[in-house]
Amino acid sequence: MQNNKTPKIFVNLFNPEVKIGILRYVISFFGVIILGSALIIFQNEDPVNAAKLILEGSFGSMTAIGNTLRWTTPCMLTGAAGIIAFKSGINNLGIEGQMYVGALTAAIVGFAVELPPVLHVAACIVMAGIAGVLWVLVPALMRLFFNINEYVTTMMMNFVAMLLTDYITLWIIMPGFKETSTTIRTPSILSSAKLPTIIRGTSASYGFYIALFICLFVYVLYKYTIKGYELKQVGDNIKFAKAGGVNTTRTFISIFVLSGFIAGVCGGIEVTGGYYRYISNFSSTMGWDGIMIANISGRNPIALIFVSFVWGMLKTGAMHMERATTLNRLTVNLLQMIFVLLVSINYEGIINHIKDKWNKRKMKNQMAKAKEGHYVQ
């Protein structure tokens, strides 16, 4: 007897939500291509050549691939921090600030403490994560005990973190440094605190594997564990979760702790596997990129890996394109923002609105015809 059951993957493709999701990405993709081509032509450059240079800069050599992996790493980590928060109903917009305190902590442990190589790297990254947790606990406790919306407090903590880390670096760690350089930075970390590189001659480090593991951990956590279910329930309906016996206070704090820890780890990996020191303004909006990537990926940790790779590819390719043409890398950044905007549009709402208008007009015409037929009789 033949099994006529359709494979689950194909059943899912016929799901209306999946159809809308695919439509959203298709429209966004072609929309960016059209707008991007117009923007590049406006700057007297060839769109095809620009796309070729982006691909060449991302995959044209082992160095290019290494650089792509290097920029994919923080995208995965900040995106994972965002997914944990947003999937659980928490607006953690302070990922950037948690990265900064994590980075400075990793730098201090990296240059001021002497440990065996593997242990030293682990200490830097773990302490960076703990610093991120301590930083995010401030808005968490303010929300829990004073009902102050974390949307505002986490965002404001970003600016406090950036200024505080610079202040500590400039006036406590390196008090005389301001007289010799215009860049605020700590001493370089010891060689024992540096992550090994994946590809020689690039800054693609083992941090990529750590980021990959964290993404898979988040996927398993939410997909297969009771704790993940509780985290999601608190975000979906806190009253229902409380009625179901979930310790909502502890779970609420856990969401902040996990998100802040991963953001801090990201800052630690930037120091141990990228810059090898804390540098003022090192982030270059990585935290905000993570928030956007988390939403573009539909808050799915597996999709996050692929979106992060594309984001890293575009970042690396844009720098190569900038060197080879008169185009600025900001052109690619602008197209990334347009893509985010197009993906964020509620296409389902637009389609439903059009259907409602069409059905109302159809019903109105039918009523008019019925009324006209009644008068004829």
Segment 149-168, tens digit of pLDDT: 898 999 999 999 999 999 99
- Give the pLDDT of residue 344: 75
8 Å CB contact between 293 and 301: no
- Give the pLDDT of residue 373: 62
Contacts of 193 (CB under 8 A, 6+ apart): 106, 109, 110, 111, 115, 120, 121, 123, 124, 272
Query: Whole-angstrom Cα distance, residue 273 to residue 278?
Result: 12
Which residue ranges of the chain lie beneath pLDDT 50?
1-2, 9-11, 13
Query: Whole-angstrom Cα distance, residue 114 to residue 125?
Result: 15
Query: Whole-angstrom Cα distance, residue 147 to residue 144?
Result: 6
- Give the pLDDT of residue 9: 44
Neighbours of 126 (CB within 10 A): 17
- Give the pLDDT of residue 71: 93
- Give the pLDDT of residue 2: 47
- Give the pLDDT of residue 5: 53
- Give the pLDDT of residue 134: 97
At residue 148, what are phi and psi to the nearest 5 degrees?
Answer: -90, 125
Query: Whole-angstrom Cα distance, residue 297 to residue 304?
Result: 5
Using the Cα atoms of residue 80, residue 294, residue 75 and residue 287 in order, give the sign of their dihedral: negative
- Give the pLDDT of residue 374: 56
- Give the pLDDT of residue 10: 44
Does residue 357 come out as left (phi exceeding 0), alpha (psi in the -120 to 50 range) or beta? alpha
**pTM confidence score:** 0.85
